Amino acid sequence: MSRIRFVWVGKLKEAFFRDACAHYAKKLGRFYKLDETVLKDAPGKLPPEDKVLREGKAILEKVKPSDLLICLDEKGREMTSVELAELLQRWTEDPNLTPCFVIGGPFGLSEEVKKAARFKLSLSKMTLPHELARTVLMEQLYRAASIQRGSPYHHV
């Protein structure tokens, strides 16, 4: 079974986001082995730019050499669910690479993390709170896996 990794900054604070992410993780877990790393937010007393740098360093410490780093970024590539399904298929077929999706904290990702990324993905041109972005990403990955398998979940 192929693997998908996630590195998130910050816990899901709202119960409805936790429930939604758990729902889609359970569904996605039927198709892929999921590995999730949740990093602690940088201290609140730090200025935003220092938070981003500290969180970025923590992210890069968790990334493995075999990870295909995919950053969620509003300036990343937008695509349809079918296009994501095709990419996910390619990413998970390579036995030497593990797709690793990264979502930063409330102030985003450091430039170092963005530079290390092999792919930048945008869920929308609009800025999304990181908890909502995690939920949307999990749903879209489940949708992509369903498309790959011809499941009726994705109907156009």
Distance CA(114)–CA(76), nearest Å, equals 10
* Whole-model pTM over 0.75: yes
Question: Any idea what DSSP says for residue 125?
Answer: S
pLDDT in 10s for each residue of the chain, 156 residues = 799 999 999 999 999 999 999 999 999 999 999 999 999 999 989 999 999 999 999 999 999 999 999 999 989 999 999 999 999 999 999 999 999 999 999 899 999 999 999 999 999 998 889 899 999 999 999 999 999 999 888 776
CA end-to-end span of the chain: 28
The structural domains of the chain, ordered by start, are 3-148 (3.40.1280.10)
pLDDT at residue 155 in the model: 74
DSSP letters spanning 5-67: EEEEES---SHHHHHHHHHHHHHHTTTSEEEEEEEPPPPTTS-HHHHHHHHHHHHHHH--TTE
Pair 116, 70: CB distance under 8 Å:
no
Pair 35, 66: CB distance under 8 Å:
no
Q: Which of 149, 155, 130, 137 is nearest to 24 (CA)?
A: 137
pLDDT at residue 153 in the model: 86
| Phi, then psi, of 105 in degrees rounded to 5 | -80, -165
